Copies of this chain bind each other. A is one copy, B any other.
Amino acid sequence: MFDQKTYINRRHRLKQQLGSGIVLFPGHDESPINFADNTYPFRQDSSFLYFFGHNLPGLTGVLDIDKNDDYLFGNDAGIDEMVWTGYQHPVSELAQMVGIKKTGSLAELESFMKTAFSSRKDFSPARNSPSCNKFSPARELSSCNNFSPARELSSGNTIHFLPPYRAQTHLKLLRWSAFSSIAILPSTELVKAVIAQRQIKTDQEIIQIEQAINITVDMHIDAMQMAKPGIKERHVIAALYSKAHDAGVSMSFTPIATTQGETLHNHFYGNTLEPGDLFLLDSGVENAMHYAADLSSTFPVNGTFTSMQKDIYSITLDAHEAAIAAIKPGVAFKDVHFKACGAIVSGLKNLGLMKADLDDAVLSGAHALFFPCGTGHMMGLDVHDMEDLGETYVGYDGEAKSTQFGLKSLRLGKVLKPGFVLTIEPGIYFIPALIEKWRTEKKFADFINYAALDSYLAFGGIRNEEDYLITETGARLLGKPKPKTIADIENLKK
């Protein structure tokens, strides 16, 4: 954990920016696998971590701005529990570590919240609410994150909370509001205030992120060195997890470790590595302080790229370098993305896979056949930093995101500022099902040379990914460099 003062200052800034009202940070509870007591590894909500520090279940933080009171609520463990779990700090000690004096039990939180909700001026038990607050299965909750700034609560006794993405948080809000939080929107004002702080990484945060990246670089080098024909993808996965456990860290997301790199988020590890295969590894750890790393590497299983692989790899690298050259304060990341797309179109045109005018191809979205996702995203306490707060503000400063295939998957489009940490990860993917669909529909036939694609159907996919900090004047690679050029990779495998 950081020192007391860090958390006190973060909460102070937040209260200043909001000015008034009550701010709720319902921390996570344990997440059950197949019964209540068999749980996934605990991971706290990142905004809770940012303002209240503790990676422990059963806590809720509350800020009463008008009274300038900060609270930490939770239950102290008794001897019956400690027999199973070992010693647990009482909540008063946890609070003190992050500079909070007022604490209470979960029962006290219940009555505190019920009073707060029922005394709200605009409290209404009406059931008619914007569709994204109607209950939807957990997997649909994500679509609610891009909420509109409409229906702001009246200030004075506003209750601010962030959009819930775990059903358990949804249930708590329901209960605290006596089943009427369905008529209450998460607070856009709070979302904006949290983003304003969390998106600018301090020096002490950069140290944490670089620690996570350096461990991840070692993992990627290990994977490059161990990959060889005959082993299975899951043997590489075993080595990655073993390294993470040895280092006492965890994964920041489920790794992609595959010879079928054309599937963007492939979590199957059953394939055997064959000579001639490309192996795509997209993985990262989060360090002890829960700051994430996110790197991708693509390398030949038997040590040397084929000539066709070199052609495509070189184009992804050109796109990668074009993006890196473009990132600096004041530039919109959407334009950085277009630069990467332009490099891809240009390279594919040289190979005869695309045709006609470059800029038209990019604007039309034709390149999305090969690059259907984005050039990068924010990174911090979350691997896709603050994705739970919605892309509208995290990625686009309130502007509407494009709905065009490809561009709609660009998570970050807004103007860059010093302190932003982001990934750079353009790639090229040959997705047989997508090629088949577009070819049948004659989609973008002016831009795509479908006849030339037949020999690429089994190619797979290539992605390189590094993490950058936007500085006052440009950008800086975070962590130690990982093998990236064709020569780097082939030398490593010798």
Contacts and interface: CB of A to CB of B under 8 A. Distances in A.
B382 A138 contact: no
A60 B40 CA distance: 22
Contact of A84 (B38, B239, B264): B264
A264 B85 CA distance: 7
Interface string A233-254: 0110111011111101000011
A242 B268 CA distance: 16
Contacts of A491: none
Nearest to A170: B171
Count class of interface residues, chain A: 35 or more
A166 interface: yes
A58 interface: yes
A436 B80 CA distance: 13
Interface stretch (A26-34, A114-122, A327-335, A470-478): A26-34
Interface stretch (A4-12, A297-305, A383-391): A383-391
A268 B382 contact: no
Contact of A41 (B32, B137, B166, B254): B254
Interface stretch (A139-147, A218-226, A309-317, A341-349): A139-147
A458 interface: no
A45 B30 CA distance: 17
B38 A383 contact: yes
Contact of A36 (B87, B139, B237, B372): B139
A387 B35 contact: yes
A179 interface: yes
Given A37-B387, A270-B248, A434-B79, A263 B84 contact: yes
Contacts of A437: 79
B388 A142 contact: no
A474 B80 CA distance: 35
A439 interface: no
A254 B168 CA distance: 21
A171 B175 contact: no
A394 to B, nearest CB: 10
Interface string A439-467: 00000000000000000000000000000
Given A35-B382, A138-B168, 9 more contacts: A31-B33, A35-B387, A36-B138, A36-B165, A79-B434, A84-B265, A86-B260, A167-B171, A179-B179
